[in-house]
């Protein structure tokens, strides 16, 4: 399996985040990708290649032009106003949301305007990492269109929380959504996205919620108790042309092991088959692990291998896009378990 990765992704390192009211070292850090690369190297059977460059136009397939421009200029505006000691981070947000009809001129206002929480700070070199992550997803999509059965886009920062004009949840540009859109534009008539991250892919849902050519399915922690809290409920099924093409499968916090997760996965796979997808994008979040520090499912490495096997049995061209997962010491081997399960899935 080809793995697409850029060393430029190491350039994004946020100094700290707030967790339960306390400043703490950010869980989303370059070492996450390092552990995956190490496990891939130890396992064998993978080929790591650098991405092509695509510029910003593909980002605007799923994000607004003003939002993409903001991401490019945010640090320079922040540094001019506040210096470089601290990361650029929002503290003032719009409420109610319908007041978002005027883009602020000041960087403090812009950060709040384009954010839905405080977990997506911007550093001096964040933009290069963000762009390289998107390049990885787009390169993977091109390889699928060239005939590869499966490709792994090792993207960080992750992307599935990023909405058309909002960052949050460690996410800035929605890599999985752009990959799916690339597949559509290159000829795949129906693309399914399966999000297996512990946290609901609110950004991806918002991008495709009114479309019937991209199915979005998510298995995640119950938003009544888990981030992102306000979206990801089972009654969110899509709107307009997209009605019936959004499936949320929320599962209980602290109780979900394979006995609950396995049936939810089966429901998700049946939905994908009914949809008639001719390509599959996996938002591969690994924070469903039993020892993840900020999540509350109880999956283990054997479960991840089984997830991979069941995905492989769909026999669809499959593009894996790396999302969350913060138990760094085990992250690499857990990720490889999914990919190896897929590659060795019985026909």
Whether residue 97 lies inside any domain: the answer is no
Residue-level pLDDT at 17: 87
Q: Sign of the C-alpha dihedral, residues 232, 238, 239, 244?
A: negative
What's the rounded mean pLDDT across residues 275-287?
Answer: 99
- Domain range for residue 151? 2-63+124-343
CA distance 90 to 329: 31
Residue-level pLDDT at 18: 82
The CATH number of the domain holding residue 216 is 3.40.800.20
What's the rounded mean pLDDT across residues 88-107?
Answer: 84
Q: How far apart are the first and last CA of the chain?
A: 17
Whether residue 113 lies inside any domain: the answer is no
CA distance 237 to 27: 31
Q: Is the peptide bond before 96 cis (omega within 30 degrees of 0)?
A: yes
Whether residue 115 lies inside any domain: the answer is no
What's the rounded mean pLDDT across residues 296-325?
Answer: 98
CA distance 152 to 318: 9
Is 286 within 8 Å of 335 (Cβ atoms)?
yes
Q: Where are the alpha helices (DSSP H) in the chain?
A: 31-43, 65-82, 107-113, 126-145, 175-185, 202-208, 258-275, 301-312, 328-343
Residues whose CB falls within 8 Å of the CB of residue 322, separated by 6 or more in sequence, listed in order: 33, 36, 152, 153, 154, 155, 156, 158, 284, 335
Give the pairing of strands 47-49 and 279-284.
unpaired
Is 225 within 8 Å of 253 (Cβ atoms)?
yes
Whether residue 69 lies inside any domain: the answer is no
What is the value of pTM for the model shown? 0.97
Whether residue 209 lies inside any domain: the answer is yes
Give the pairing of strands 17-19 and 22-24.
antiparallel
Which band of pLDDT confidence, cut at 50, 70 and 90, is reported for residue 342? very high
Whether residue 160 lies inside any domain: the answer is yes
On average, the pLDDT of the chain sits at: 96
Which band of pLDDT confidence, cut at 50, 70 and 90, is reported for residue 22? confident
Whether residue 315 lies inside any domain: the answer is yes
Which band of pLDDT confidence, cut at 50, 70 and 90, is reported for residue 20? confident
Concatenate the DSSP letters of all residues of 271-327 into one string: HHHHHT-SEEEEEE--TTBTT-TT----B-HHHHHHHHHHHHTT---EEEEE-----
Among 223, 221, 194, 193, residue whose Cα is nearest residue 295: 221
What's the rounded mean pLDDT across residues 256-267?
Answer: 98
Residue-level pLDDT at 100: 74
The 10 Å Cβ neighbour count of residue 302 is 11
Residue-level pLDDT at 232: 98
CA distance 56 to 60: 7
For the record, the structure tokens of 267 come out as 């429901």
Among 272, 261, 343, 346, residue whose Cα is nearest residue 303: 261
Residue-level pLDDT at 125: 98
CA distance 300 to 41: 21
Residue-level pLDDT at 170: 98
Number of domains in the chain: 1
Whether residue 174 lies inside any domain: the answer is yes
CA distance 169 to 262: 26
Q: Which residues are catalytic?
A: 161
pLDDT of 249 over the 90 cut: yes
């Amino acid at each position: 399996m080809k793995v697409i990765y850029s060393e430029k992704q190491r350039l994004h390192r946020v100094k700290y985040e707030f967790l339960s009211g306390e400043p703490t070292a950010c869980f989303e850090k370059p070492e996450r990708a390092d552990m995956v690369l190490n496990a891939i190297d130890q396992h064998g059977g993978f080929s790591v290649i650098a991405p092509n460059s695509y510029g910003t136009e593909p980002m605007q397939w799923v994000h607004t032009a003003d939002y993409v421009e903001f991401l490019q200029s945010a640090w320079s505006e922040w540094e001019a106003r506040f210096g470089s000691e601290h990361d650029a981070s929002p503290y003032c947000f719009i409420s109610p949301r319908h007041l978002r009809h005027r883009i602020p001129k000041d960087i403090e206002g812009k950060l709040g305007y384009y954010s839905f929480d405080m977990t997506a700070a911007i550093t001096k070199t964040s933009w290069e990492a963000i762009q390289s992550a998107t390049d990885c997803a787009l390169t993977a999509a091109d390889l699928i269109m060239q005939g590869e059965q499966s490709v792994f886009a090792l993207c960080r920062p992750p992307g599935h929380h990023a909405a058309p004009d909002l960052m949050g949840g460690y996410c800035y540009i929605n890599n999985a959504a752009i990959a799916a859109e690339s597949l559509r534009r290159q000829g795949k008539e129906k693309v399914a996205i399966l999000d297996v991250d512990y946290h609901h892919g609110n950004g991806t849902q918002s991008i495709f919620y009114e479309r019937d050519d991209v199915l979005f399915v998510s298995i995640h922690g119950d938003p009544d108790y888990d981030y992102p809290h306000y979206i990801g409920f089972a009654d969110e099924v899509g709107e307009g042309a997209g009605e019936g093409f959004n499936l949320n499968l929320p599962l209980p916090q602290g109780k979900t092991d394979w006995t609950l997760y396995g049936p939810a996965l089966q429901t998700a796979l049946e939905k994908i088959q009914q949809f008639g997808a001719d390509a599959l994008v996996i938002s591969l979040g690994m924070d469903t692990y039993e020892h993840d520090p900020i999540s509350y499912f109880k999956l283990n490495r054997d479960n991840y291998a089984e997830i991979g096997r069941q995905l492989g049995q769909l026999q669809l061209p499959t593009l894996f896009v790396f999302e969350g997962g913060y138990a760094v010491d085990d992250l690499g081997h857990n990720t490889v378990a999914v990919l190896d399960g897929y590659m060795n899935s019985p026909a």
